[in-house]
């Protein structure tokens, strides 16, 4: 997605060769119009595939899952990272190791919001090590739902996330694929959304 790549070049802060900060427009302050256009891109890619639900992990996937849900006219569900007191009912849970926070946590989704009649699109802001999305894919599998694909806003292609998902036969669509980065320079893969 050209607009997204330009924004990353203009506003992205490369904190190291592996960490990109995009919190002026993507995951702290959010450009709402851009988020909706991102949702439409996912809608175009995954439309007509019978998606019944979009899934993400709180917090920074929420705006894009909502935008994709709007485009596909389906609800979105976000996995919680902490068990809420209101979440007394049965849940699907999976352990995840956070690349940015360097700590392990559990994600969970109430069983009543995911089941064998669902066809799921997973959406997230970043695909890095793939830990979060592999955890979500495990939950989808356990629920008996069909995983239609994964849509990521930014993929760091030099990390193993895409490989781990594709190894499981999961279709991955990333709107900006970064092959390498260093301060002042971001290299994108040529192809869009694959
Ligand atoms: P994973 O390593 O599981 O693919 O990434 C999990 C989460 O870590 C992503 O959804 C994203 O929120 C965060 N993350 C991973 N890499 C980066 C990065 O380079 N920059 C930012 N801002 N977040 C990242």
As its CATH architecture, domain 2-188 has 3-Layer(aba) Sandwich (3.40)
- What sign results for the dihedral spanned by CA atoms 163, 165, 168, 172? negative
- The one-character DSSP state at 112 is G
State the pTM of this model: 0.96
Residue nearest to atom 19 of ligand 1 (CA): 19
Q: Which DSSP category does 59 fall into? A: T
The answer to whether the complex's ipTM is over 0.95 is yes
**Residue 71 annotated as part of some ligand binding site:** no
The reply to whether 129 sits in an annotated binding site is: yes
List the chain domain ranges: 2-188
Cβ neighbours of residue 33 closer than 8 Å, sequence gap 6 or more: none
Q: Residue 80 carries which DSSP code?
A: B
Hey, which residues does 193 pair with through a beta bridge? Answer: none
Could you give the CA distance from residue 131 to residue 29 in angstroms, rounded to a whole number? 24
Ligand 1 and 118: CB distance under 6 A: no
Compute the C-alpha angle 140/144/147, nearest 5°.
45
Query: pLDDT tens digits, the chain, 194 residues: what are they?
Result: 999 999 999 999 999 989 999 999 999 999 999 999 999 999 999 999 999 999 999 999 999 999 999 999 999 999 999 876 565 789 999 999 987 788 899 999 999 999 999 999 999 999 999 999 999 999 999 999 999 999 999 999 999 999 999 999 999 999 999 999 998 899 999 776 76
């Amino acid at each position: 997605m050209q607009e997204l790549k330009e924004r990353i070049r203009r506003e992205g802060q490369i904190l190291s060769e592996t960490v990109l900060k995009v919190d002026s427009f993507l995951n702290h302050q959010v450009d709402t119009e851009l988020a909706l256009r991102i949702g439409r891109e996912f809608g175009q890619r995954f439309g007509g595939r019978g998606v019944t639900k979009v899934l993400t992990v709180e917090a920074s996937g929420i705006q894009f899952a909502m935008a994709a849900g709007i485009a596909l006219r389906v609800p979105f569900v976000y996995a919680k990272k902490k068990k809420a007191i209101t979440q007394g009912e049965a849940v699907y849970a999976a352990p995840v190791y956070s690349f940015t926070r360097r700590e392990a946590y559990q994600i969970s989704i109430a069983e009543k919001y995911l089941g064998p009649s669902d066809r799921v699109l997973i959406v997230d802001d970043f695909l890095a090590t793939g830990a979060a999305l592999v955890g979500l894919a495990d939950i989808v599998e356990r629920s008996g739902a069909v995983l239609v694909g994964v849509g990521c806003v930014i993929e760091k292609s030099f990390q193993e996330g895409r490989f781990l998902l594709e190894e499981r036969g999961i279709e991955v669509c990333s709107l900006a694929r970064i092959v390498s980065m260093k301060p002042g320079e971001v290299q994108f893969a040529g192809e869009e959304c694959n």
